[in-house]
Amino acid sequence: MKLVCTGCGKTFPGKAILYRCSHCEALLEVRYPEKIITQKRTWKGSGVWRYEPLLPTKPLVTLGEGNTGLHLCKNLSSSPFYVKHEGENPTGSFKDRGMTVGIAWAKKLGATTVACASTGNTSASLAAYAGRAGMRAIVLIPSGNVAMGKIAQALVHGAKVIQIDGNFDDAMRLVQQTDAYLLNSINPFRLEGQKTLAFEVCETLGRAPDTVILPMGNAGNISAIWKGFKEWKAAGRISTLPKMIGVQAAGANPIVRNLRGQNNSCTVAKPDTIATAIRIGAPVNWTKAIAAIRESRGDAVTVTDKEILAAQKLLAQKEGLFVEPASAAPVAHLLKTKRRGKVVCIATGHGLKDPEVILRGSPKWVKIKPDLRALQRVLR
């Protein structure tokens, strides 16, 4: 196993504590010998660690993550599609897939303090897994709108939560200057856990989907899942690869703008969206994300906050799936387009992560006296 620069191709030892190439500053990727990928084997267990032979370490720290539901949705469109509900993970988001591997790797390296910048989900996951591992967790959150459900998780799990006077991108720049072991998606070992979503989808469907649609914030997940599909194909377990469609909110769409030739730096100065999980203007993984989109012949697309909220309610009311706003973005895109074949939308987090959004946009409940006639009147 080694680390490979995605820019210049320079290689580094697997145990090197690096997040970027020391030569060209590009992002790194974990690579395994071909024989590890192609070896015929029988998979045992369930969840993320079912795929231990294709991961960099043993399950030193786990909360039973992975093995989330792939739900067939028939009530929202004439063309049924699937939703992979990552809100079914232990702390309620896809970050648990990456954190179980990232924390295990940190433990293997002898780290005692781990850190992240977060809009919420990463902080909750980091705090829970660090607590399980007996490590100190430091979390930097932005000012402004932060989902309180996520921050409550980080606090109850014992993290040191620090709010900075700035946005997520400011927090991301600052946390990289600390001495703590960094577990944002810039860490290639964390992304190894997230690729297992692709393995699960293929095993459940018995093939690769034709299209995968997912939200993009810091943009590590789309490249991680694409890597998973490629490794599964290299292992001879699927014969085709899906198109990867990344979805961003209209007010926080640097990757979309970059692909359209509107923004060479891939930044949005003041990102703004109701979907806090993807309110990111300078995604650190943008080069990996764009590579995954181009390699898969996919696309990056935009949806409005209005479309996101409408899709969130439809998923809940018609399919029984409660997801946070960012997780509804893929469905919002799908409902206004026509994509054929087997389509999988990735719902990255549970709706209980950000209940304030629902409460602000829903009718107030009615209060009555404990009387049957009063009840019948309001039910007319």
Q: How far apart are CA 82 and CA 68, in angstroms?
A: 12
Q: 75 φ, ψ to 5°?
A: -100, 0
- Averaged pLDDT, 333-350: 94
Query: How many Å separate Cα 92 from the centre of its chain?
Result: 11
Distances (CA, A) of 178 to 113, 116, 285: 10, 10, 20
Residue 139 pLDDT exceeds 80: yes
Greater pLDDT, 195 or 358: 195
Query: Which pLDDT score is estimated for 253?
Result: 97
Greater pLDDT, 40 or 71: 71
Beta strands 2-5 and 181-182: pairing type?
A: unpaired
Query: Which pLDDT score is estimated for 264?
Result: 82
Task: List the structure tokens of 169.
Answer: 């991108």
- At residue 263 the predicted structure's pLDDT band, cuts being 50, 70 and 90, is confident
* 70-92+190-361 and 95-188 share one fold: yes
Q: Exposed/middle/buried for 247, CB within 10 Å: 0-12, 13-18, 19+? A: buried
Residue 376 pLDDT exceeds 90: yes
Class of domain 70-92+190-361 (CATH, top level): alpha beta
Rg (CA), the chain: 20
- Averaged pLDDT, 343-354: 96
Query: Which pLDDT score is estimated for 119?
Result: 85
Angle at 43 between CA 38 and CA 49, to 5 degrees: 100
Class of domain 95-188 (CATH, top level): alpha beta
- At residue 349 the predicted structure's pLDDT band, cuts being 50, 70 and 90, is very high
Q: How far apart are CA 350 and CA 323, in angstroms?
A: 4
What is the percent of the chain where pLDDT is above 70? Answer: 100
What digits encode the pLDDT tens for the residues 207-249? Answer: 999 999 999 999 999 999 999 999 999 999 999 999 999 999 9
What digits encode the pLDDT tens for the residues 92-116? Answer: 999 999 999 999 999 999 999 999 9
- At residue 182 the predicted structure's pLDDT band, cuts being 50, 70 and 90, is very high
What digits encode the pLDDT tens for the residues 32-63? Answer: 999 999 999 989 999 999 999 999 999 999 99
Task: List the structure tokens of 123.
Answer: 């902080």
Q: 320-347 burial string, b = 16+ CB within 10 Å, else e?
A: ebbbbbbbbbbbbbbbeeebeebbbbbb
Q: 125-145 burial string, b = 16+ CB within 10 Å, else e?
A: bbbbbbbbbebebbbbbbeee
Q: How many CB atoms lie within 10 A of CB 372?
A: 7
Mean per-residue pLDDT over the chain, rounded:
95
Residue 148 pLDDT exceeds 90: no
**Residue 313 DSSP symbol:** H
- Averaged pLDDT, 334-342: 91
SS (H, E, C) 158-180: CCEEEECCCCHHHHHHHHCCCCC
Structural contact between residues 215 and 348, judged by C-beta atoms closer than 8 angstroms: yes
What digits encode the pLDDT tens for the residues 295-314? Answer: 999 999 999 999 999 999 99
- Averaged pLDDT, 140-168: 92
Of 341, 336, 329, which is closest to residue 243 (Cα–Cα)? 341
Residue-range domain boundaries for the chain: 2-31, 70-92+190-361, 95-188
